[in-house]
Amino acid sequence: MAKYDKDEIKEKLSLEMVFDIVQEFGGDPHMTDFGFISTTICHNAPGEGSRKLYYYENTKLFRCYTGCDSYFDIFELLSKIKMLSQPNSEWTLYDSMKWVASKYGWGPTLQDAEDEVPNLADWKILEKYEKINNLKLEPPKEIILPEFDSCILDNLTYPVIYDWIKEGITKEVMEYNRIGYYPTMEQITIPHFDINGRFVGLRGRALGSDEAEICGKYRPLIIGGQMYNHPLGLNLYNINNSKDNIKKIRKAIVFEGEKSCLLYQSYFGISNDISVACCGSSISSIQLMMLLNLGAEEIVVAFDRQFKEKNDEEFKHLIKNFRTFHKKYHQFVTISFMFDKDDMLPYKASPIDCGPEVFMKLYRERVFL
């Protein structure tokens, strides 16, 4: 019986492929000169852990520098994620190999007389998109994320957040998106909804600089023992609001963070909104397919200025990532990039952070590769 070859699959996996897998499971990876760094989804829920999971391209191995304190490959990482979500599962490393091979359309190559290891327990989220082929323009399989009880939103407070108003976000937009405040953790609350308006997650934005530095600016909230997290790579923030306009205009602007969508609504009107946020530094294949399924003919990538000077290492990584994304998907959709070539933005600023005039200039001068 034909079986999968672990070494062959691992050798076929490019850095970008591994990056995409980690992104889809909420690791929020960031490229480095040795590979990439992500949050510790090996032993934490997405958005909960620290940025201590390193992937080394030369060895194709991960190293967790906190809870796991060990090296492992992509197959073991997937098994760890599985066991984290379903501790009693009998998921095996071979199941992880089959999932990766199926994701990229690779068939088994080894012949073995032994029966193939059975796929015992269903991994609900994985099962629903494991057969999506990134290289075909097919409608994505429907992915239904777990829904939380939205009554929790009624128990939060909704004060005027003056710091955000000073940055340009209007009170009307904050009310429309149910931006609130959780005093126990001193966090601004940002509810996430899927394309059908189902409440699938609640993220908190830390106000204290020390806390943000240690734990990250954004992370899922824990209220009453319930963590309101979801795999960020399987949804797009604000798509429930902008989907009709994206269908009509056939264009979508993809920001990194939620605040950029709020600023876009504030500057150009809720009724004119075509923005979404991928909540990370890359767009997953699932997120892209969601936009294609709405009929988008152009994807405008409006990512943060993640470089200090032209031609520094971060600049080179950003350009490389843009080119890789374009090469992978340009045959399906027009892809443009809002790129700060004239140094109008400060380091790590979103294209919309400096006001509508700067944003429109960057938009008009966006780059088509």
- Domain extents in the chain: 2-127, 151-231, 239-368
Of residues 124, 107, 129, the one with CA closest to residue 8? 107
How far apart, in whole angstroms, are the C-alpha atoms of residue 127 and residue 166?
45
Radius of gyration of the chain (CA): 21
pLDDT range class, residue 119, cuts 50, 70, 90: very low
What mean pLDDT is predicted for residues 43-63? 88
pLDDT above 90: percentage of residues in the chain: 54
Of the ranges 108-112, 225-229, 280-284, which one carries the lowest mean pLDDT score?
108-112
CA pseudo-torsion sign 303, 54, 66, 94? positive
How far apart, in whole angstroms, are the C-alpha atoms of residue 190 and residue 212?
16
Question: According to the model, what pLDDT value does residue 336 have?
Answer: 97
pLDDT above 70: percentage of residues in the chain: 87
What mean pLDDT is predicted for residues 218-222? 84
pLDDT range class, residue 137, cuts 50, 70, 90: very low
Mean pLDDT, the chain, rounded, equals 86
Question: According to the model, what pLDDT value does residue 110 have?
Answer: 62
265: CB partners within 8 A, 6+ apart: 170, 173, 176, 177, 241, 273, 275
Task: Report, at the CATH architecture level, how domain 2-127 is classified.
Answer: Alpha-Beta Complex (3.90)
pLDDT range class, residue 47, cuts 50, 70, 90: low
Query: In this predicted model, what pLDDT tens digit does every residue of 68-78 receive, in sequence order?
Result: 888 999 999 99
CA pseudo-torsion sign 339, 343, 347, 350? negative
Of the ranges 147-151, 224-228, 344-348, which one carries the lowest mean pLDDT score?
224-228
Six token digits for residue 7: 């070494």
Six token digits for residue 244: 């009709």
Question: According to the model, what pLDDT value does residue 345 have?
Answer: 97
What secondary structure does DSSP assign to 74-140, as a single string?
HHHHHHHHHHHH-TT----HHHHHHHHHHHTTPPP-EE-SSPPPP--S--HHHHTTTT--TTS--PP
What mean pLDDT is predicted for residues 9-23? 89
Whole-angstrom CA distances from 192 to 46, 120, 199, 270 are 14, 32, 6, 17
Question: According to the model, what pLDDT value does residue 123 have?
Answer: 42
Contact in structure between 287 and 255 (CB atoms under 8 Å): no
67: CB partners within 8 A, 6+ apart: 40, 42, 43, 44
How far apart, in whole angstroms, are the C-alpha atoms of residue 155 and residue 354?
34
Question: Is there a shared CATH topology between the 2-127 domain and the 239-368 domain?
Answer: no
What mean pLDDT is predicted for residues 325-335? 91
CA pseudo-torsion sign 159, 213, 70, 30? positive
Does residue 316 register a pLDDT over 80? yes
Residue 159 DSSP symbol: -
How far apart, in whole angstroms, are the C-alpha atoms of residue 57 and residue 66?
20
Question: According to the model, what pLDDT value does residue 124 have?
Answer: 44
Burial (Cβ within 10 Å: 0-12, 13-18, ≥19) of residue 366: middle
Question: According to the model, what pLDDT value does residue 1 have?
Answer: 56
| Between 223 and 335, residue with greater pLDDT | 335
What mean pLDDT is predicted for residues 265-270? 98
What is the value of pTM for the model shown?
0.69
Does residue 85 register a pLDDT over 70? yes
What secondary structure does DSSP assign to 279-319, as a single string?
SSSS--HHHHHHHHHTT-SEEEEE-----SSTTSHHHHHHH
CATH class given for the domain over 239-368: alpha beta
Contact in structure between 254 and 299 (CB atoms under 8 Å): yes
